[in-house]
Structure 1
Amino acid sequence: MNPLVQTLSIGANRSILDAVKCIEAGALQIAFVVAEDMRLLGVVTNGDVRRHLLQGGLTDQPVTTCMNQEFRSVRFGAPREDLLKAFDLGHNALPGLDTEGRLVEVYTRQMAASAEAPVLARARAPVRMSFGGGGSDLTYYFVDNPAAVLSCTVGLYAHATLIPRTDLKIRIFSEDLGTEEHYQNLNELLATEHKSLLATIVSVIKPRNGVDIYIRSDFPVGSGLGGSSAVTTAVIAAFNELRQDRWSIYEVAELAFQAERLCFGIAGGWQDQYASAFGGFNLIEFEQGRNVVHPIRLEDAIRSELEECLVLCNTGISHDSGKLHVQQREEMTSQQSKAALLTESVVLCRQMHHHLIRGELQKFGQQLHEVWMLKKRFSRGVSDNTLDRIYETACEAGALGGKLLGAGGGGFFLFYVQPQHRQALTRSVQSLGCTISNFRFESSGVTSWRTKIQ
């Protein structure tokens, strides 16, 4: 029994004198009269006793003869807001009753704050939509050449939930892949030779205690939207949410690059991790000594018009960006003429940035075409007859330009088309087996929060 309830409660068969002793024993100057099953029958205060005695009553009479049956009570577990309002009306103590009317708690103005409850962390990271400069964000290029990438994030997310455990076990659940991984402890995970991407992320973080990790995504695997980077960023952000000394956004992006590119071994550049971590429209510059994210503030009208004119088209063809990046690097490093294509890509990127911030969107759309024509020259694996046919069909239906997102080889096409031609374009690419995915720009990057474990 609650100690305060035990101190302040008195049986219905006790005397008024016993009630006085009970009242004086507590600082609240009140006693609660209860039946044998702890149902609350009434309350007694010094004022009730005085009125009884002034009316000729005796102290050896049962306490029920002077108790007040018109008392204020609250249900056990009542919201703190309700209790505060009652206390603000002048009450010093409130009996908390269960559904059977039994006294189980006595609330006072000195009630403690709720005990700290165990929490879990959640995070979500948006995918990126790259416009220009792709390929120049590869380290082998920008160690010797200034590089820049223009991109934005859209409202398709990788979602991560991290639940701390009281033991050392690590369990990883991927809804997208339909997989589960179970490790007895971190050492077992670290000793595993062929780790999944999610297990690799955990091996980089090295949590001290066990965790359960749940992952799901709003986009298909191999989409060209930088999905693996969004997943990596979301998981790292979930771990970051539970840290006391939280990593900066730059540090989150760097850890994501480390886990995905260096430790897991997916070949690729740096833009995806920065885009997913920072969010919004950005011009990201890469150099030997620094990577800098420059946020772009667009006028609302420009942003809205661009959103209306872009069509996201899923080819239904999955791709392996890592293999494509390896192939591209081999061709770029072996053929000096191809390496110059990346420099041309950076020039185009900066021109597109200029057109975007000035709202010259028709020129922006036309340069998407230039970017795609240039990108196809990067490597023989970027496009094929099927992808070329999709692109040509979209242009015939009214697209001013477009490009495959990501490394190429499949995934999503992004087309720029005036809204009056959108329906024709949609029908044309659907006839080739493609699907249109609706989207909205996302101005925020990775976000995380914590909530109580239910």
Structure 2
Amino acid sequence: MSLVITRTPFRVSFFGGGTDYPEWYLKEGGSVLSAAIDKYCYITARYRPPFFPTAHRVVWAHIESVQSISEILHPAVREGLRMLDFDDSHGIEILHQGDLPARTGMGSSSAFAVGLILALKMMRGQAVSQEDLYLKAIELEQDWLKDSVGSQDQVACAMGGVNVIDFNTDGAINVKPIQASKQRLNGLNSRLMMFYTGTSRLSSEVARDVISNIADRSTVLREMKAMVPVAQAILEETASDLDDFGRMMNETWQLKKSLSGKISNSNIDDIYEASQKAGALGGKLLGAGHSGFMMLYVPLDKREAVRQALHELMEVPFNFEMKGSRVLNDHGWMSELSASIIKRKIGQVSNGVQ
């Protein structure tokens, strides 16, 4: 029996968050600067053999064994199967594992959506591009699940790398990899520190509040969008001071907090103030806000002081991940997806057994 395993990176977002909501960019256009990191969502999927008493099995925070797709509690799995036209004629088994907890601002729901779609496509032997992946993941989250989510996370998780992602008023999405040397990107990476604040939340709840304020926050969102090309230039022009990137992170965090009272709280504010006193030049709470992971820009000679100031929090080291969502095969993680290879590897449904 054959199965598919996908590995999809989580992401960190630097600038432009909020301008990736369709409610905004379809009118004004949007732009973000973000990066995928080497922390992953894993999806294992296969056709379930017919010998078991139930057709479908889904393992996540719960273990579900059900007879019909309509009975599946996991919303993304249920609607993802429907969106891709799976039915109950053949059982499906799906297992989810992640390197980081869900609902913590790392794009986990979008990483799941991207990895799930890739796995289901591969089960059918269908070739899928990275663009196909993020467009389908956006469709799943925004149209099928009706979640209040933006469109940047799906792109970052599918594509990997450090990118500027532009969202046009006609709905088109353009991905522009940062044109910086490996040494320059490593320099940025080495100055970033990430800490887990120990809480989680539904990002859609915070996002709904942001979206409801969009009309009254247009000036702020335009300022946040305008910071993207400036930050891009800092990374791409080697003569520029990399620390300016950190100072801009402080500016965008102050702007982001003004979008909604739910984005920060006294605990987050205390953590951020302590990091600045210890030497951090800037930072931000990742994701929609209120809780989760705090990312900080810290000069190399201040890293230990910040680590000591935030010693009660868990530090999570990370590196940028350049490949995006991939499938495991005999030769490792495959980024160039070939339908013919997958078909030979997995085979087709025969008598209900793979």
TM normalised by structure 2 equals 0.87
Contact 1:153–1:276 (CA<8 Å) still a contact in 2?
yes
1:388-399 → structure 2 map (5 Å cutoff): 388-399=269-280
2:317 matched to which residue of 1? 438
1:189: which partner in 2?
A: 69
Which AA in structure 1 matches 2:5?
R
Aligned residue for 2:337?
A: none
Secondary structure at the aligned position of 1:317 is classed as: coil
Task: Assess if the C-alpha contact under 8 Å between 2:210 and 2:260 holds in 1.
Answer: yes
Alpha-carbon distance in 2 for matches of 1:414, 1:239: 33
* Letter of the 1:136 counterpart: T
Decide whether the 8 Å contact of 1:119 with 1:450 is kept in 2.
no
- Separation of aligned partners in 1, 2:286 and 2:274: 17
Equivalent position of 2:2 in the other structure: 119
Deviation at 1:309, TM superposition (A): 0.5
One-letter code aligned to 2:55: K
Describe the superposition over 1:403-436 as per-residue Cα deviations: whole angstroms up to 9, x where unpaired: 1111110111110111211111011112xx3211
For residues 142 and 194 of structure 2, the distance between their equivalents in structure 1, rounded to whole angstroms, comes to 27
Shift of 1:183: 2.4
- 2:77 alignment partner in structure 1: 198
The residue aligned with 1:32 is none
In structure 1, the residue matched to 2:56 is: 170
Distance 1:416 1:134 in 2: 17
CA contact (8 A) 1:120 1:450 kept: no
Q: Distance in 1 between matches of 2:77 and 2:69?
A: 11
Structure 2 residue 215 is matched with structure 1 residue 329: no
Question: Is residue 113–residue 137 contact of structure 2 (8 Å, CA) maintained in 1?
Answer: yes
List alignment gaps of at least 5 residues for structure 2.
331-344, 347-353
* Conserved 8 A contact 2:46-2:123: no
1:83 match: none
Output one character per residue of 1:336-360: Cα deviation in whole Å (capped at 9) or x when no partner.
xx12211111001221111111243
Equivalent-residue separation in structure 1 for 2:100 and 2:228 (angstroms): 26
2:38 partner letter: G
- Give the counterpart letter for 1:217 in structure 2: G
* Alpha carbons 2:29, 2:168 under 8 Å: kept: yes
**How many residues are matched?**
325
Q: Does 1:316 align with 2:198?
A: yes
One-letter amino acid of the counterpart of residue 231, structure 2: M
User: 367, 374, 382: which is aligned to 2:255?
Assistant: 374
C-alpha contact 2:206 2:262 (8 A) present in aligned 1: yes
8 Å CA contact retained: 1:241, 1:450: no
| Deviations 1:250-279, CA, capped at 9 Å, x for gaps | 111111122223222321100000000000
146, 157, 169: which is aligned to 1:288?
169
Alpha-carbon separation, structure 2, partners of 1:158 and 1:164 = 20
1:343 pairs with 2:222: yes
CA apart distance, 1:440: 1.2
Q: Distance in 2 between matches of 1:446 and 1:241?
A: 12
Residue in structure 2 matched with residue 226 of structure 1 by the alignment: 107
Distance 1:245 1:194 in 2: 26
Question: What is the CA–CA distance in structure 1 between the aligned matches of 2:124 and 2:180, rounded to whole Å?
Answer: 34
Contact kept? 1:241, 1:449, Cα under 8 Å: no
**292-301 vs 376-385, which moves further:** 292-301
Secondary structure, aligned partner of 2:284? strand
1:213 aligned counterpart, secondary structure:
strand
1:157 matched to which residue of 2?
40
In structure 2, give the amino acid aligned to 1:141: W
Taking the aligned partners of 1:353 and 1:426, their CA distance within structure 2 comes to 28
Report Cα offsets for 1:215-241 as digits up to 9, x if no partner: 100001222110111111111111122
Shift of 1:195: 4.9
Point out the structure with max Rg over C-alpha.
Answer: 1
Structure 2 contact 37–320 (Cα < 8 Å) conserved: yes
The one of 348, 353, 358 aligned to 2:232: 353
Partner-residue secondary structure (3-state), 1:448? strand
Among 145, 153, 160, the alignment partner of 1:279 is 160
Aligned pair 1:416/2:302, yes or no?
Answer: no
CA distance in 1, matches of 2:302, 2:191: 9
Aligned in 2, Cα 1:182/1:193: closer, same or farther, shift over 3 Å?
A: closer
C-alpha distance in 1 between matches for 2:116 and 2:214: 33
Alpha-carbon offset, residue 329 of structure 1: 1.1
Q: What letter matches 1:256 in structure 2?
A: A
Q: CA deviation at 1:194?
A: 6.1
Q: Deviations over 1:32-70 (max 9, x none)?
A: xxxxxxxxxxxxxxxxxxxxxxxxxxxxxxxxxxxxxxx
Report the alpha carbon displacement of residue 247 of structure 1 after superposing the two structures with TM: 2.4
- Paired position in structure 1 for 2:287: 406
Partner of 2:28: 145
C-alpha separation between the residues in 1 aligned to 2:142 and 2:244?
A: 34
- 1:184-223 deviation per Cα after TM superposition (whole angstroms, max 9, x unaligned): 2xxx323x49653322222222325322111100001222
- The answer for unaligned runs of 5 or more in structure 1 is 1-117
The reply on whether 1:363 has 2:237 as its aligned counterpart is no
Structure 1 residue aligned with 2:128, among 247, 253, 259?
A: 247
Match of 1:301 among 175, 179, 183: 183
State the TM-score, normalized to the length of structure 1. 0.69
Residue deviations 1:126-169, cap 9 Å, x none?
A: 00110000000000111111210100010000001111234492
Higher mean C-alpha deviation, range 369-378 or range 442-451: 442-451
SS of the residue corresponding to residue 440 of structure 1 reads: coil
Structure 2 distance, partners of 1:436, 1:172, is: 31
The percent identity for this pair of structures is: 30
Q: Equivalences for 1:204-223 in 2 at 5 Å?
A: 204-207=83-86, 209-223=90-104
- Counterpart of 2:28 in 1: which secondary structure? coil
Amino acid across the alignment from 1:213: I
